[in-house]
Each structure stands twice: as C-alpha cells, then as structure tokens.
Structure 1
Amino acid sequence: MLNIGSHLSISKGFYVIGRDALSIGANTFQFFTRNPRGGSARKIDIEDVNALIKLMTENNFAKILAHAPYTMNLCSAKPETREFALNTLTDDLKRMEYLPNNLYNFHPGSHTGQGVKAAVEQIGTALNTAMFNDMTTTVLLETMAGKGTEVGRTFEELRMIIDRVERNDKIGVCLDTCHVFDAGYDIVNNLDGVLEEFDRVIGLERLKAIHLNDSMNPIGNHKDRHQKIGEGYIGIDAFRKIINNENLRNLPFFLETPNELDGYAKEISALRNLYFE
C-alpha cells in the first residue's frame, strides 16, 4: 500500500486533522508542532489526542510526521536564537510522547556565517540535550536545498550531525525531493545513483520519510521553491519512479505542494494510480 498524506493544519484539533486526512484519501499526514513562524504550542487535549490515535488505528495509518517551526535554528550565531530553538526542540520532543512511536522532522538550520563545522557541533549538542532516554519518537534531519548558509545541503553534512548524536537509534533523515533536486542531486535521471550515494554516506536504514514536492527551478539552483506534483522540473515520470523504488516504496510520503485539501486529494489519487501494488 502507498502510505501517503499531505501537510494539514491542527488548528481545529487532532481528531479533525485525522478526518481531513481520510477525506482526501490519505493514510498519514504531517503537521506543524506550533506556528511555523514561532510562538507557543497549543495546549494538549488528551481526549482529542486519544480520539486521533483510535481513528488512526482503525484506519491503518502509517507513521505521522510532526514538523518543527521554521524559526527553530539550532546553529544561529546568536546565542539567544539557539536558546529559543533548544527550548522549542525540548518541548516538542516531550509533547511528541502523547503520540508515541512517530516521527519529528526539522530543518538543521543556517549557520549565519559561523561555518558548517561550528554549526554541526551546535546542532549535535542541542540534540543530545533535548533527546532523552526511553523516548519513542525518531528525530529526522531534513535534506536542504542549500540556499544562503543552510546546513544539510549535502548527505555528508547530515552525516556529520548524525555522528554526534548520542541516542543514535533515534536519529534519521527525511528526504525532500524538491530540496535534494535544488541541491544538485539528479533524482530525475539518476535516482538509483543518488540513493546509492545516500546509502554510502548515511545508510538507507536511516531514511524514514519522504517529502514529495516538485520544484519550480532547474536542478542545482539552491532556491527551494515547491511546485505541484508533475508541474515542475522534476516531473510526473520521476515521481512514478520514486514512489515505486524498492528502497522507498514502503516509506511514508508527505506532500508539501502549494495546494488546499481538494488539490491534495487530486495529487494523492494520481499518485495512487501510479503505484504498483
């Protein structure tokens, strides 16, 4: 079965987001843990969370993916920004235990002039501070497009962070198709080669989720502009190969395309029709 969903808002509650996922033909979903531009998280409603868990169990949902806010920069040159990010990460990972055994994804951050080496050390230290014994959540580093001073533009940079994480069994990667394409990895003409490189540098066992996004820009532009599936430079044939690849087909796929619910429903239906059962 193709495990696929989209990014959905939890502003109306967790149970509603589960129903929204079902309404568009999804069997998983992604959500922001709080306002993507920062701020405090909504209060946990235990009954609401339990209702979602029941709905997910009854409908055979795959693992869901929580996404950290974009403002969480663990490797900023500003100490106060790093402190805010660490507090957010720590709080998010504690809250994730209300939805046990799922996934938490974040952008590694931007080094803002410090350089990659310093950034990697700061990210690793923050993860070791926030992660805890007996946590059930797997934390995912997202592959990045490489705009500005972003960290995570190469598989090697992600591996540098992974190597610094003490709870190594709880760290993985979310591969974003738009980001890796914009970073210069040719998933259109050489998907197998890209995955072989990922396996050599990081290990395919650490790949836990895929963000399915087309790109508004040609390969290697480092701009991070998501496009609807099949309407960008990656193209529908590449997505057919991605969702059916033997190393990827059983992972959860999450759409972050510029869509509302009806648009996500159309994309999910189209991708299901391309999936080889």
Structure 2
Amino acid sequence: MVGLSAGEKNFIRGGIEQDLRADGRQRQDFRPILIETGVIPQANGSARVRFGATDVIASVKAELGKPNPLQPGRGKVAIYVDCSPTAAPAFERGGGEELSTELSAALQKCLLGGKSGAGAGIDLSSLMVLEGKVCWDLYIDGLVVSSDGNLLDALAAAIKAALTNTGIPKVDVGVGASPDEQPEVNISDEEFLQFDTSAVPVIITLTKVGREYIVDATSDEESQMSSAVSVSVNSHGKVCGLIKRGGAGLDASVILDMVSAARHVSQKLIPLLDSEIDAAEAASLAGQGSDVDP
C-alpha cells in the first residue's frame, strides 16, 4: 500500500491547523451519516451505518439464558467485532484480527462499563425474565465492511441503531414444582418488546493531529495522529467511558478539554442519529408493509 507523500501529510496537518480539512470539513464536523435498519432479517435487530466511506453493520441476536450467580438480577450482553478482509488492504491475510479484538474490548468498556458494569449504557436489568433463573442474553456482532477511519464511533452508532431495531419476544414463565427447578418458559411469536435505547451512549473520538484535535477522522488523518481519546457520552451529557490510544502522552488539562469537546459534539450528534434512526425505522416498516400481500 502506497503511503502519503510529504506534501500530502503537510496538506492534511496544515488544513487541520487552519480548521479547514482536506474534504472541506471543520475540525468538529462529521462526514455525512447514512443509516439503514432491519438489514439482516434473521437477527432480532440490525443496522448498517456509513460515516462517509466507512461502512459497518451491527446485528443483535437474543437468546434465553441463565443469569450469572454473582449478578442474579441482570441479563448478559456480549459484543464481538469482525473486520472483513476486503474492508481495507491492511486487513488481508488476517491483518484485521488484532483490530477486531481492540474494537470489541473498547465497545464493551464504553457501552457496558467493562467487567465492573460501572457507567453501563445498556440497562442489563431490563433483560431479566425471572431473577436468578431466566434472562435474555444479547449477542451483538459488528462487521466492518469498508474502513476509512473512525471505526469505533461508527460501530457504536450502528449498535445503537440495531438495538433500537431489536424486538425482544414476550415470555410467559410457568411456576416450577420446586424453587430449585428451572421454570418452563413460553416464547411468543407475535408479541415483542422494544429495547429501550434512551441511555445508550454514542462514542466521540477526538484525534490529535499536531496541536489540534478533530472528530470523525479519515484513515489519512488518522495516519498523522499522535494520540486519540474516545469518550462515550449519553443523551444527558454524562460520560460513560473513556479510552486513550496512541503513544504520545497527554496532559490532564488536554484530556479534560477533549472530554468537554466530546460532550459538546455529542449533544449535536445524538439528535442527528436519533432522527436518522427514526427515519430508517419508518422506512424499514414501510418496506415490510409493501412485502405483505393485500
């Protein structure tokens, strides 16, 4: 893969310094965002999200399971990401495996609060069917179809959209013969509960290039970064998680400034995403209606 020339690197860095990026955006502007929902019929919920040329898909599969004995009042969620070998030249011949692991762990931390669950954006108690006995397990799979930077933010947006699209079947629980006996469950084929995504945060990644930092960096812009800070923020402006990557250190004051910028950007991004998700859901429902014979 041919790298950037010295002139191209200077052009990228100089444009960011002057608040005019190579594609015409300012430092805190996102690329055009396109969202489709219901793209995988066999999943309980799914969505496809494009940030410019970055293209990702998220799907949600719900299965009945048994709660963790240490957390008897909670369901379970697992997030896995796969990078398609055709998404970028660097992903060929297994080159995307390390990135897949990194993205999965980052999403788990930012959306679920890591192992501790502190600051979790997904309410695991809402997945409980019968405390200590039966819960819903959600398996969230992300796929990177095309990579042109800012994968973490795009995947988080796709997961939020896929969860909005998710229908959890209604469950009737029978009474067991004894307290130790696993109860019988009857899963409805007709009644579904919509997942509450009001607390699911977005992720805003601030990429530092020179002395400035930008949102929604392209691959070329990411190649010039010294470090990046990803902040998950919910609709109330609460910070749910933070991850730093890149070798260069950052002063505490710089990190605080980046978190403040992420919170500011999130209050513009969240209404935009919500509007795009609502429009996608309406289009998906209209498409389903057109498939039904009169």
Query: TM-score by structure 2 length?
Result: 0.24
Bigger-Rg structure (1/2): 2
